[in-house]
Structure 1
Amino acid sequence: MKYTEIKAEDNISTVIQFILLGFSGLPNLQWFLFGIFSIMYLIILIGNSSIIVITRLDPALQKPMYFFLANFSFLEICYVSVTLPRILYNLLTQDRGISLLACATQMFFFLILAATECFLLAVMAYDCYVAICNPLHYSLIMNPTKCTHLAVGSWLGSIPVQIGQTYWIFSLHFCNSNRIDHFFCDVPPILKLACGDSSVHELSIYIVVMLFVAFPFMLVLASYGKILATILRLPTAKGRAKAFTTCSSHLVVVVLFFGSGTITYLRPKSSHSAGTDELLSLFYTIVTPMFNPMIYSLRNKDVIASLRRFIHKV
């Protein structure tokens, strides 16, 4: 372990390198895990790239819903690429060391992209709300300019806050250990290594989570409350089924992502365990991005039809 002494008399040291222990407790399964995660990464890249291509090339999909879906698919590729290549490298080489700067950089981009996903899910819920509750004014409300502003705001809105939060977390002294019981530099396992009382930092994290996770989630709930009320007022069962199908895939993704992420970040530090954190993190970092293309394509007739036309052309 590498340390740099700053005050010998206080018996405090600062870490310049971390050790990522994720999956190290399964020594006989390293190659198996490498194979599984490699396949999952390929599925994520191919699935989300396919959605981006068909939504950009097919004239039938030049609608706000698919504009946001293309943004979401590109986000998933970026989001997974922050963590999964490092996991594959650790499993392949068994070199689990990561510098302080690399760890901070990974956390910074992970937090930004996670916040972007929360905002994009809220924007997509709003799009569903307008499509179902205000169909006659849909094209006027969700015009190209507004869609672009919503997408750009989702991508850039959290950057200043996450810069401050990442800097604040890594300004702590890590004197207990440099061994991270996780497979990437996530906030809860990093805080567990901090010296002394980190309750102020935990409070700041709760505030940020409320701002970038709870607030978008409340917007999603409000949108779906209006959608449900509108669907129940539709006169025919066929109309209700069609309206529900339009947004049901998005609702599944919302539950998977927000559910696992909220449980991880809103629990107090004392109740975190390495195994539980790793399992929950797998859901919102890898499993959900892998299933998103399947969820959106299998439950969307327009996407399936476009994909068939694309494959036929190829």
Structure 2
Amino acid sequence: MQHPEYAYLDLCQYVLDNGNKKDDRTGTGVLSVFGYQMRFDLNKGFPLLTTKRVPFRLVVSELLWFIKGDTNIRFLLQHNNHIWDEWPFKKYVESEEYNGPDMTNFAHRSQQDEEFAKVYQEEKEKFCNRILEDDEFAKKWGSIGPAAYGAQWRSFQGPYGSTDQLKEVIEQIKSNPDSRRHLVVSWNANQFSHGEALLPPCHTLFQFYVADGKLSCQLYQRSGDIFLGVPFNISSYALLTHLIAHECGLQVGEFIHSLGDAHIYLNHIEQVKTQLSREPKPLPTLKLNPEVKSVFDFNMDDIQIIGYDPHPTIKAPIAV
């Protein structure tokens, strides 16, 4: 029987073999395909990749951040999670309030110039420390915008006011499990057209499905950074499915990941090849605190991964 991780590894190989070379928003360039689907049976282990280390605690803190409805990176920084730093930092260094060294095109320059990389890291560290220590600065510069995932999940803005989509979908699963309307939508085009998102959501909607006492989830992701982003997305939505199944008294079924533009950045190709050269190891298992009954009450210590023994980390630059 093929290891479940090949659902992801086959995607990597497919894009290397068939991807279209394209320009992109970041100026990095990608190999891209349009339309791809992966399926993970959540009863065959928790889909946290083993061919490279995926930092599970970062996955957990990010998901709890979304569930809280938070859009400010202060919560993430309090949990030593820096995966969203670059976007508010970019907004800050492009503002008139910033008076430090020139940070133009910092993502690319930091990969090509070691001296600049040191300056960039120092400036970003100062920025993050101010977010943690200065309430007013955090309020002004720590947000990734009202169109971010947490806001869309918990307070989606429409013509009739605000909707807590996540809370509503959980109640629907409990009261009407056979409904075909168990959706949460993160794509609010009206907000994007008015510039309210530093990065419009890549995971645009997800839908739940109940059958035979099991909860499954399908994510549609308009844009997927295959090497850095997609491994997080797989484990994050698998975890969300487990949390909601736990609250609703269901077992878990499948996580189905449907991608629109699935791409490998050109400066990630060697890293992907390294990952493909490795053999997958046994998947870990997830342990949730049985005393916590609601998705909204989980904390970091209530969520544990057991038996995770991956290959080493493979580092790669993020495209901003």
Note whether the superposition's TM-score is higher than 0.5. Answer: no
Larger helix fraction of residues:
1
Larger strand fraction of residues:
2
Max radius of gyration: which structure? 1
TM range (shorter): under 0.3
Give the structure-2-normalised TM-score: 0.25
Give the structure-1-normalised TM-score: 0.25
